[in-house]
Amino acid sequence: MGDGYAVELSAEEVRTDLEAGSADAVRRGKVPPLEESEFDYLFELFAHPSRIMGVEPGHEVVLTKDGSVNTLYSAQLSSGVGLPLGREQCFRVFERAFGFDTMEIGHPDYSFKPVKPIVALEAIGVEQALLSAIIPVFYGAMPNFGLYARPDGPFPNPADLLPRGQIPEAREAQMEMAEREGDPGALACLNGNRAKVTPMDQANYAQALTRRATLTRDWMLFFEKYAVVLTPVSGELPFPDHLDLKDAAYFRYGALSARSAETRALAVQRLTAGIDVAVQPPPPG
């Protein structure tokens, strides 16, 4: 199972589980159901008595790994198995023994903060993997603002401030952590949202929650009368991916291009009031 524990199921339970999963995929993904022969094929894989099994050539899938090689050399508390292997050795195990097609290497903490002081050493590990591997290799890391908040860092913890209603203080703490982290995308989002949430005191926060609950209720009433609503995705032409993370101005542009969400809310309010209306979201200006 996904949590690492073994379970025992009868043949009927396995088959029932496969059929239930397929029915859920049909409902959610609007895809055709599996044929009987496909159910038989999957059942044979799941019910195979061998510890090692495979598929015919041509039925393979591309294998990659999120979380790097930590699952081999990390302790069980970190979702690993604690093998006495180095990082580069674990990497070669994934390529040569497990047959992975792409792979990443990262620091066990996988955060920018612990990586910054040792980035030159990390580059040596990546270089060694590239020299010994055939498959594509990339280095992975990500922001983790929690490492900059108390008690691990110098800044106030937003998770402690928000329940006490200290909304402006929590926002400023987020800004300070983003500036210390130096993540341009996070800074673009926070600065782009500043005008929308400033000032955000307890009264404004309560008003926003009321507005959200009202729109949710309007949606529920709308779908009691209408099966579907069709609106434009956006009033703007497509723009490059991650453009909204470039700076605050581009973030606001990206938010405006998604104004169709606000338009749908307006349409719902008008329709639930008994007024037929067609709305085209205006372009940003």
* pLDDT per position as a tens digit, 40-91: 988 988 888 887 777 888 887 788 877 678 788 877 766 778 888 888 888 8
Alpha-carbon distances, residue 114 vs 71, 131, 148 (angstroms) = 19, 25, 11
pLDDT of 77: 67
Q: Bigger pLDDT: 275 or 30? A: 30
For the cut 90, the answer to whether the pLDDT of residue 118 exceeds it is yes
Contact criterion met (CB below 8 Å) for 58 and 83: no
**Helix ranges (DSSP H) in the chain:** 11-29, 36-46, 70-73, 87-92, 112-115, 119-132, 158-161, 167-181, 184-197, 202-225, 248-257, 260-272
What are the tokens at 179? 């500036």
Half-sphere exposure of 235 (CA within 13 A, CB side): 18
User: What average pLDDT is seen over the chain?
Assistant: 78
User: What is d(CA 27, CA 21) in angstroms, rounded to the nearest whole number?
Assistant: 10
Domain residue extents for the chain: 1-60, 62-142
pLDDT of 234: 60
Contact criterion met (CB below 8 Å) for 87 and 108: no
Residues 6+ apart with CB under 8 A from 122: 107, 115, 139
CA angle 238, 276, 272 (to 5 degrees): 95
- Terminal-to-terminal C-alpha distance of the chain: 52
What are the tokens at 39? 């159910």
Q: Residue 97 class from Cβ within 10 Å (0-12 exposed, 13-18 middle, 19+ buried)?
A: exposed
Q: Which of 16-25, 41-50, 153-162, 197-206 has the lowest mean pLDDT?
A: 197-206
Give the global pTM: 0.46
Q: What is the pLDDT of residues 235-262, one digit of tens each?
A: 666 777 777 778 877 777 776 666 554 5
Q: Which of 157-161, 177-181, 277-281 has the lowest mean pLDDT?
A: 277-281
Alpha-carbon distances, residue 96 vs 105, 131, 132, 139, 191 (angstroms) = 16, 14, 11, 19, 46
Q: Bigger pLDDT: 51 or 278? A: 51
pLDDT of 83: 87
Per-residue confidence band for 275, with pLDDT thresholds at 50, 70 and 90: very low
- Tell how far CA 91 is from the center of its chain: 24
Mean pLDDT on 167-176: 85
Per-residue confidence band for 1, with pLDDT thresholds at 50, 70 and 90: very low
Q: Token pair 């209720």 is at which residue?
A: 217
